[in-house]
Structure 1
Amino acid sequence: MPQDGNDPELNHRERATLLAVAQGGAELTCSCEPDLFVDGLACCDQTTVHRLARAGLIAPAHPGTPGGRVPAVLTDAGKRALGTLPALA
């Protein structure tokens, strides 16, 4: 997965995770390898979450305390990967 989020080849699990974040109600832990919670429940595939975070497709909405949870958001790269934001020219 490229770091710029312009990969049209997201796998099903990556796309589903991005969609869950896009729908709201997702939180990331504030850590170097963030964990994702959706509607209060831990995401069962943290490896995918770590890949999406490292690729810059999801991010915390704002800084938080180490280990705390903050809302998760799609970055512009994440929106482009889902096709909800036009590609850069």
Structure 2
Amino acid sequence: MSGSQEELNYRERATLRAVALGRAEITCSSEPDLFVDGLACCDQSTVHRLARLGWIEPSVSGRPGERVPAQITALGRAALGTEGIPGRAA
């Protein structure tokens, strides 16, 4: 299935929602870490998957390892099925 048509599990939906609501920071890395409300996300494999699929990304450029605001991408919004959810839209 295409990236926007894949079935999301509960954790993936919750992670995408947190990012869409502007509650997350992401490290600038090929395998990024995500922080929600200042706390490290407990499921980094989910974070890595969402980043690889192009559903979440840093909203600004940063140095390797630097924490910057995360944003949901248009692909992520489509996967979540909530184009109108507030947040830092791509």
Query: Could you say which TM-score interval applies, normalised by the shorter chain?
Result: 0.7 to 0.9
What TM-score comes out, normalization by structure 1 length? 0.87
CA distance in 2, matches of 1:31, 1:63: 11
Equivalent residue number for residue 72 of structure 1: 70
Matched ranges for 1:25-36 at <5 A: 25-36=23-34
Structure 1 gap ranges (5+):
none
Cα deviation, 1:37-82, whole Å, max 9, x if unaligned, reads 0111000000000000000000000110111101000000001111
Structure 2 gap ranges (5+):
85-90
Say which of 13, 21, 24 aligns to 2:22.
24
CA shift, 1:8, in A, is: 4.7
Equivalent residue number for residue 50 of structure 1: 48
Percent identity between the two aligned chains: 68
Aligned pairs, how many? 84
RMSD value, Cα: 1.6
Equivalent residue number for residue 83 of structure 1: 81
What TM-score comes out, normalization by structure 2 length? 0.86
